[in-house]
Amino acid sequence: MNLNPIDYLIIIGYLVLVVLIGIFLSNKAGKSLNQYFLGGNQIRWYVLGLSNASGMFDISGVMWSVALLFVYGLKSAWIPWLWPVWNQVFIMVFLAIWIRRSNVMTGASWVLTRFSGTGGAYSKNIIILFAVISAIGFIAYFFEGIGKFCEAILPFDLTVQTAFFSVSSKNVYAFLIISLTTLYTLKGGIFSVVATEVFQYIIMTISSIAIGLIVFFSVSNADLMRVVPQGWDQLFFGWKMNLDWSSKLPLLNEKIANDGYEFIGILFMMMLFKGIFSSLAGPVPGYDMQRILSTKTPFEAAKMSGFTILVLYAPRYLMIAAFAVLALVYLTPELQQMTAIDFEVLLPETISQLVPTGLKGLILAGLLAAFMGTFAAVVNAAPAYIANDLLKKNLLPNQDEKTYVRYGYLAALVIVGLGMLFGFFASSLNSITLWITASLYGGYTAANVLKWIWWRFNGYGYFWGMLTGLLASTLKLLFFSDFIDIYFFPIILIISLLGCILGSLFTPPDELKTLKSFYKSVRPWGFWKPVLKEVKKDLPDFKPNSSFYKDLFNVVVGIVWQMTLVVAPIYFLIKKWEGLVWSLLIFGLCSVLLKYYWYNPLKKQDES
């Protein structure tokens, strides 16, 4: 890519600024583990919400989504349900409150509020292991994405060739950017991460609006419809995708078959099944949970999660839609001459060929910001499990707080190093994405659903459920890597569920004291009748949580609300006005319903 000196100045200026922020905030962050990892619970909820949104505005995800929209059109809006993307709605409606009531630092510390004794210790150790494994997986995902992006946009060939090994330019770029991001993250802790992520969010939003306006005024609906197959601009579907690219870009038919998304009706049911269980399990031990635990109160945790949804999806999908439309209209003739296409580099190729000077530098700085923000959030969150839960509370107690912060530095370096090592051998963004979302999270789901809803589920059951799930997902990766991950989710879920139930029933229940304390403070709904009976002996006026149906209603409304924020920017840029109007009307209706049935009751509860 040929960059103008102005573009280089913008990119270099951004990189220098974020490093300076990390250094400036390092003294404030290093006072204690709580300060370093949670900001002393003093960061405002809306700042954490912007930070959380920036952390989800990742470059690898944007590249993946641009490729999806290019190939599948509006129906691609459903495919991210693989994660599932609407888990944030469950968190907003009730899980953020349940989690924040614990007043702990990490997910591993949180499980000790639910499980007791040896089983509790086992459950804590397995969640530490999961946090580290998932962080390594995400770093490998980031490594693959940022390497491809930088190789496509920057003109320098950084290939390292020796007599013993060769390192591609893509991997060298990834190593350099990740090293720089790790530096400012380690120096400033969560203060640095949040401050730079808010700054990065602003850059990304300005970039999204700018490129969105360029596309809106330069591409007509007729221009787009000439290069896409019939049905590309339709949101809803039957049993099959029914997108035939034969006359436009035949290679895409092969990609659709290889991705496994052709039978979208069956895929949708699998995503819905997986999404409900995965979302009810709550956030995995990472930056999302860290933001929840960093808020001042449970009410602010819920507001932060809702604000994240509100500010994330519209600008993110405005950028995704803009680049997909540009690529379709202007790059299709070039792509038609190719015998093979790497769709994951559509984004950088579109920037390279079609974005003007100045804006190109801003967008590239914004996309680097998106990567660095998400990566920094992962790097800041995962080491807390080692420094706080493994070293401070077990292996090396009674040290001063600054010592544990330094151990956090070391843990981050080891995790980043392992993640980069796995990134060297990753085949594609899509393969890593599918493994993380379907297989790895499949092993997490069963145990983390049961912990909320079943009183008899104990620490041993949690340990065996998580362990069998991790083993099943690892075996899938090693021996069945060619099979589509989402269809393995039920198998991994059943294996993990058996581990949970057998592990619990063949061992004694958790201590009643722990169960009563957890139930009184968190107040989940579910199967807690024996514990409720004991609590009422001490507190006759105690009332159980009766909000299940209200929460269910709010979750459904919230998912529809979030979906309108995804599709409205796409409708806007492809100039499909009827779809845009309906999206905005439904968004308004859902906002009113959430105000009356979610926000107002929470506010009243917080004030009482």
Task: List, for residues 156-177, the tens digit of each pLDDT value.
Answer: 777 777 766 677 788 788 888 8
SS3 content of the chain, % helix, strand, coil (to 5): 75, 0, 20
Least confident of 154-158, 413-417, 449-453, 554-558: 154-158
**Count of CB atoms within 10 A of residue 280's CB?**
18
Tokens read off for 298: 């449970």
pLDDT for res 82? 74
Per the prediction, the chain carries an average pLDDT of 82
pLDDT class for 578, splitting at 50, 70, 90? Answer: very high
- What is the DSSP secondary structure assignment for residue 32, as one 8-state letter? -
Beta-strand relationship, 160-161 and 166-167: antiparallel
Residue 599 CB partners (closer than 8 Å, separation 6+): 306
Amino acid at 6: I
Q: What is the pLDDT of residues 375-406, one digit of tens each?
A: 777 777 777 778 777 777 777 777 777 777 77
DSSP type of residue 233 = T
Is 157 buried (19+), middle (13-18) or exposed (0-12) by CB count in 10 A? exposed
What pLDDT sits at residue 105? 67
Output 243 or 290, whichever has higher pLDDT.
243
For position 2, what pLDDT does the model report? 65
- pLDDT at residue number 452: 92
Residue 443 CA, distance from chain mean position: 17
pLDDT digits (tens, 9 = 90+) for 588-599: 999 999 999 999
Contact call for residues 496 and 446 (beta carbons, < 8 A) = yes
C-alpha separations of 34 from 3, 41, 42, 300, 393 in Å: 43, 8, 11, 18, 14
Work out how many domains the chain is built from and give that number. 1
User: Cα 158 vs. chain centroid, distance in angstroms?
Assistant: 30
Residue 355 region by backbone torsions, left for phi larger than 0, else alpha for psi between -120 and 50, else beta: beta
Largest Cα–Cα distance in the chain? 77
Calculate mean pLDDT across residues 179-183. Answer: 77
Confidence grade of residue 182 (pLDDT, cut at 50, 70, 90): confident
Q: Is the pLDDT of residue 252 over 90?
A: no
In a domain, 201, yes or no: no
SS3 198: helix
Return the higher-pLDDT residue of 608 and 44. 44
Q: Is the pLDDT of residue 221 over 70?
A: yes
The neighbour count for residue 505, using CB atoms within 10 Å, is 13
Q: Residue 334 pLDDT more than 60?
A: yes
d(CA 345, CA 330): 15
d(CA 291, CA 41): 10
Residue 606 pLDDT exceeds 80: no
Q: Is residue 23 part of a domain?
A: no
DSSP assignment of 112-163 equals: TTT--HHHHHHHHHHHHHHHHHHHHHHHHHHHHHHHHHHHHH------EE-S
Does residue 450 lie within any of the structural domains?
no
Cα(281)–Cα(275) distance, rounded to whole angstroms? Answer: 10
Whole-number Å distance between alpha carbons of 505 and 507? 6
Give the tokens for residue 118. Answer: 């040896």
Given a contact cutoff of 8 angstroms between Cβ atoms, the answer to whether 237 and 265 are in contact is: yes
Phi and psi based region of residue 236 (left: phi greater than 0; alpha: psi -120 to 50; beta: remaining): beta
- Res. 437: pLDDT tops 60: no
In a domain, 207, yes or no: no
SS3 167: strand
- Residues 92-144: pLDDT tens digits? 999 999 988 877 767 777 888 899 989 988 988 888 887 887 787 778 777 77
Q: Of 41-45, 73-77, 126-130, 140-144, which has the strongest mean pLDDT?
A: 73-77
Which pLDDT score, from 0 to 100, does residue 586 have? Answer: 97
- Please state the pTM of the whole predicted model: 0.83
Over residues 558-567, the mean pLDDT reads 96
User: What's the Cα-to-Cα distance from 497 to each of 82, 281, 400, 437, 445, rounded to whole Å?
Assistant: 20, 13, 41, 18, 9
Give me the pLDDT at residue 517, please.
92
8 Å CB contact between 452 and 515: no
- Domain membership flag for residue 527: no
Place of tokens 């981050």: 412
Structural contact between residues 245 and 228, judged by C-beta atoms closer than 8 angstroms = no
CB neighbour burial string for 203-221, b if at least 16 within 10 angstroms, e if fewer: bbbebbebbbebbbeebee
What mean pLDDT comes out for the span 574-594?
Answer: 96
* pLDDT for the residue 272: 84
Higher pLDDT, 152 or 564: 564
- What is residue 36's predicted lDDT score, i.e. its pLDDT? 60
Give CA–CA dist 196/180, Å, rounded.
13
Instruction: Give pLDDT, residue 556.
Output: 96
Cβ atoms 324, 64 nearer than 8 A: no
Window from 134-143, 491-500, 552-561 with minimum mean pLDDT? 134-143
Give the span between the Cα atoms of 54 and 195, in whole angstroms. 11
pLDDT of 193 over the 90 cut:
no
Domain that holds residue 84: 43-169+237-355+405-426+545-607
Q: Does residue 570 lie within any of the structural domains?
A: yes
State the average pLDDT over residues 244-255.
Answer: 83
- Identify the CA nearest to 48 among candidates 289, 369, 409, 405: 289
Query: What whole-number distance in Å separates Cα of residue 558 and Cα of residue 587?
Result: 10
**What pLDDT does 373 receive?**
67
Q: Which of 142-146, 243-247, 294-298, 526-530 is predicted most confidently? A: 526-530
Give the separation between CA 9 and CA 15, rounded to whole angstroms: 10
**Does residue 178 contact residue 145 with C-beta atoms inside 8 Å?**
no
SS3 426: coil
Structure tokens at 418: 């392992």
**Domain-located, residue 307:** yes
pLDDT (average), residues 300-321? 92
Structural domain includes residue 226: no
**Interatomic CA distance for residues 291 and 37, integer angstroms:** 10
Task: Report the C-alpha gap between 12 and 349 in whole angstroms.
Answer: 21
Residue 191 CB partners (closer than 8 Å, separation 6+):
25, 28, 29, 35, 39, 43
What phi, psi does 364 have (nearest 5°)?
-65, -40
Residue 427 and residue 421 in contact, taking contact as beta carbons nearer than 8 Å: no
Cα 155 to Cα 153: distance, rounded to the nearest angstrom:
7
Range with the lowest mean pLDDT among 316-325, 347-356, 460-469, 538-547?
347-356
Q: Is the pLDDT of residue 435 over 70?
A: no
Residue type, 247: S
Residue 160 backbone zone (phi > 0: left; psi -120 to 50: alpha; other: beta): beta
N- to C-terminal Cα separation, the chain: 59
- Residue 358: both structure tokens together: 């100045």
**Which pLDDT score, from 0 to 100, does residue 471 have?**
83
Of the pLDDT bands very low, low, confident and very high (cuts 50, 70, 90), residue 37 is low
The half-sphere exposure of 248 on its side-chain side, counting CA atoms within 13 A, is 19
How far is CA 155 from its chain centroid?
Answer: 31
- The mean pLDDT of 510-527, rounded to a whole number, is 92
Helices within 219-297 (DSSP H only)? 221-225, 251-259, 264-281, 287-294
